[in-house]
């Protein structure tokens, strides 16, 4: 699993490795921030993502 951030959302990706090629498929877009998402961290078990935004909010 990979998490990326953008202007106002985070995207969860499913990663697949086929030989030496790594590909990703977007699983879900999570919206809720009103400004740029500056940081995202995942829990060790992959169950939770915490994001921080320039709008001074955290989302779990």
Domain ranges for the chain, please list them: 2-59
**Helix or strand (DSSP H, E) at 49:** strand 49-53
Q: What is the pLDDT of residues 7-47, one digit of tens each?
A: 878 888 999 988 888 899 999 888 888 888 889 998 999 88
Helix, strand, coil shares, percent, the chain, to 5: 0, 65, 35
8-state DSSP, 60: -
What's the whole-model pTM score?
0.71
Contacts of 6 (CB under 8 A, 6+ apart): 37
pLDDT of the residue at 20 = 87
């Amino acid at each position: 699993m990979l998490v990326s951030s953008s202007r106002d959302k985070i995207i969860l990706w499913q990663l697949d490795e086929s030989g030496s090629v790594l590909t990703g498929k977007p699983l879900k877009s999570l919206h809720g921030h009103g400004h740029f998402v500056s940081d995202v961290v995942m829990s060790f078990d992959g169950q939770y993502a915490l994001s921080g935004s320039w709008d001074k909010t955290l989302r779990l």
